[in-house]
């Protein structure tokens, strides 16, 4: 409506200068574009270049990207003959390009894997978890050996590594929501911050100290191209 009123007023002001009026109408069209509904629905996702060891296998395509903000949460624990900070969970929220919440990210037991580690309490293996904020579909992932990179050509100094995460479980939401269940792989890229602190965990008396380190990253979700358009 604003576009039409401005255009009409300009044309009236120009009177009989029809050629100039048409030119100005073109300017107004540029200044107040009408978005095509078809264009607004287009969802072409182009992941960034990544180190070779975290590339997604052929036969998969990115279908969703979330921009995450949160913390990497560490606890000081015994390690060998000393102590060190170990990650006990990330806690992050993923947003789309318009700032709308998409997904929450944390660690949780994967109901599809039986725990075999006697040092860990519980019946199921703890895995990285992504839960859809609307339909509560969930995917669990594992970083397999060799699927982590701190290559300085890609990863900024002081940031946590880039990762290729392989799905090891998925679950639909209680009302059948399934946006994340088709996931095959997840890439963590464009990381900033998140590394464990260099102080606060050096002596046995530091055991139990926690550190919540801010980080941001992009998570790209992939699905199989088999049978998809």
Q: Which residue has the higher pLDDT, 21 or 83?
A: 83
3-class DSSP state of 3: helix
Where does the pLDDT of residue 36 fall: very low under 50, low under 70, confident under 90, or very high at 90 and above? very low
pLDDT at 120 (0 to 100): 85
The yes-or-no verdict on residue 9 having pLDDT over 80 is no
Is 206 domain-assigned?
Answer: yes
Residue 177 — left, alpha, or beta (φ > 0 → left; ψ -120 to 50 → alpha)? Answer: beta
pLDDT at 152 (0 to 100): 97
Q: Provide the percentage of residues in the chain whose pLDDT is more than 90.
A: 77
Q: Are residues 93 and 25 in the same domain?
A: no
The yes-or-no verdict on residue 149 having pLDDT over 70 is yes
Where does the pLDDT of residue 228 fall: very low under 50, low under 70, confident under 90, or very high at 90 and above? low
Q: Are residues 28 and 64 in the same domain?
A: no
Tell me the C-alpha to C-alpha distance, in Å, between residue 117 and each of 108, 126, 143: 15, 10, 17
Q: Name every residue whose Cβ is closer than 8 Å to that of residue 217 and which is 6 or more positions away in sequence.
A: 67, 68, 92, 160, 188, 189, 190, 191, 192, 194
pLDDT at 43 (0 to 100): 62
pLDDT at 128 (0 to 100): 98
Q: Which residue has the higher pLDDT, 26 or 123?
A: 123
Cα–Cα distance between 194 and 51 in angstroms, integer?
20
Question: What angle, rounded to 10 degrees, do the helices at 2-14 and 18-31 form?
Answer: 160
Is 17 domain-assigned?
Answer: yes
Is 51 domain-assigned?
Answer: no
Residue 174 — left, alpha, or beta (φ > 0 → left; ψ -120 to 50 → alpha)? Answer: alpha
Cα–Cα distance between 56 and 173 in angstroms, integer?
26
3-class DSSP state of 144: coil
> What's the average model confidence in pLDDT over 145-155?
98
Which domain range does residue 30 map to? Answer: 2-38
* Domains identified in the chain, total number: 2
Tokens of residue 63, six digits: 């279908």
pTM for this prediction: 0.80
pLDDT at 118 (0 to 100): 87
Q: Are residues 153 and 207 in the same domain?
A: yes
Q: Which residue has the higher pLDDT, 132 or 1?
A: 132
pLDDT at 104 (0 to 100): 98
3-class DSSP state of 10: helix
The yes-or-no verdict on residue 206 having pLDDT over 80 is yes
Q: Are residues 18 and 102 in the same domain?
A: no
Structural contact between residues 137 and 180, judged by C-beta atoms closer than 8 angstroms: yes
- What are the φ/ψ torsions at residue 23 (nearest 5 degrees)? -65, -45
Of the candidates 188, 213, 192, 210, the one whose C-alpha atom is nearest the C-alpha of residue 201 is 210
Start-to-end CA span in the chain (Å): 37
> What's the average model confidence in pLDDT over 70-82?
96
The yes-or-no verdict on residue 143 having pLDDT over 70 is yes
């Amino acid at each position: 409506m604003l576009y039409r009123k401005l255009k009409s007023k300009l044309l009236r002001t120009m009177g009989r200068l029809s050629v100039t009026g048409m030119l100005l109408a073109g300017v107004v069209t540029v200044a107040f574009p009408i978005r095509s509904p078809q264009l607004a629905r287009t969802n072409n996702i182009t992941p960034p270049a990544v180190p070779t060891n975290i590339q997604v296998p052929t036969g998969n395509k990115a279908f969703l990207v979330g921009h995450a903000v949160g913390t990497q949460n560490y606890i000081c624990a015994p390690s060998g003959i000393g102590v060190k900070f170990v990650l006990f969970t990330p806690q992050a929220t993923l947003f789309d390009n318009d700032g709308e919440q998409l997904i929450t990210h944390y660690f949780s037991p994967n109901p599809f894997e039986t725990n075999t580690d006697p040092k860990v309490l519980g019946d199921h293996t703890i895995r990285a978890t992504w839960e859809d904020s609307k339909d509560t579909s969930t995917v669990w992932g594992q970083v397999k050996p060799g699927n982590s990179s701190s290559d300085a050509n890609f990863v900024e100094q002081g940031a946590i590594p880039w990762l290729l995460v392989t799905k090891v479980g998925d679950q639909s939401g209680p009302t059948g929501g399934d946006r994340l269940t088709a996931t095959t792989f997840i890439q963590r890229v464009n990381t900033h911050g998140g590394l464990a602190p260099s102080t606060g965990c050096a002596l046995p008396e530091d055991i139990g100290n926690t550190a919540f380190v801010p980080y941001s990253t992009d998570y790209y979700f992939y699905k199989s191209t088999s049978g998809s358009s």
